A and B are shown apart, each in its own frame.
Chain A
Amino acid sequence: MQGGIRAWEGLTAEGPPEAGMAFFGDAAKPDELAMLAWMLEEGSRQFYVRLDAYLKDEDAKHLFQSLAKAEENHEKTIAELYKTFSGGSAIEEKLPAEKGEFMEGGIRLDEALLWARDKDLRAILEFAISLETNAYDLYIKMGRRFEGDARKVFSLLADEEKRHLERLAGLLEKKI
């Protein structure tokens, strides 16, 4: 339901940029999928890094710094996978200009940062939960496309995104 319980209660407060898009890249080639995943990780990493300037809460700062580092590690894992899929090419040499401009769910990084600038911690955590939910969904779907090692890699990434989701949800529970 669009807007969640706030919309139900008739509240029209400015909501976060909604992830109104979902991954449907069924026809995409394996190397394209890996590149897509890398680009979305980069968008999320940049969001978490730049969010730090807006946060005052130390627990939140620590969590988002840790998540940014985790996304960086995901990029390295995906870059290795890309090499396998592309016959040895380095992903960094193939990335299009729009790398890092978008995050999970097709949300633009610049719009999300603009939105987050004056938001409270609860709103930011809820938004980050929606991002990580989309990442979790993406890797489950990508994993279904493969067998063997590639499936294991996407399954591992999905598990890690789920853990990020749990950490964000845990902090939200603690702070509200």
Chain B
Amino acid sequence: MALLDYFKPVVSMTAEDARVYMKGKNPDDYNLIDVRQPVEYERGHLAGARLIPVAELQNHLNEVDKAKPTIAY
């Protein structure tokens, strides 16, 4: 059994891709989620980003609009 056989690469957006994507859209067209800690969020975050720390994501999934693309950082 080769361990990596059970994994597949996850394609991520680069920061530049995200910048271009968001520039061409209305902020209501996508979910922008900051998964860092509250202190980090308070120090600075992307405009319009909503804070949901990664450990709390599972409990807040119903608050994320599944019909829209989601960008998380």
Q: Which residues of A contact B (CB under 8 A)?
A: 1-5, 7-8, 10, 18-25, 28, 32, 35-36, 39-40, 96, 98, 101-102, 105-106, 129, 133, 136, 140, 162, 165-166, 169, 172-173, 176
Contacts and interface: CB of A to CB of B under 8 A. Distances in A.
B6 A23 contact: yes
A169 B55 contact: yes
B54 A102 contact: no
B68 interface: no
B15 A22 contact: no
A102 B3 contact: yes
Contact of B7 (A8, A18, A24, A173): A24
15 contacts: A4-B73, A5-B46, A19-B10, A20-B9, A20-B10, A21-B9, A21-B10, A22-B7, A36-B6, A40-B3, A96-B2, A102-B4, A172-B37, A173-B39, A176-B40
A65 B72 CA distance: 30
B55 A162 contact: yes
**Size bracket of the B interface:** 20 to 34
Contact of B15 (A7, A35, A102, A173): A7
Contact of A23 (B7, B15, B73): B7
A7 B14 contact: yes
Contacts of A172: 37
B2 A98 contact: yes
B58 interface: yes
A17 B34 CA distance: 20
Contacts of B45: 5
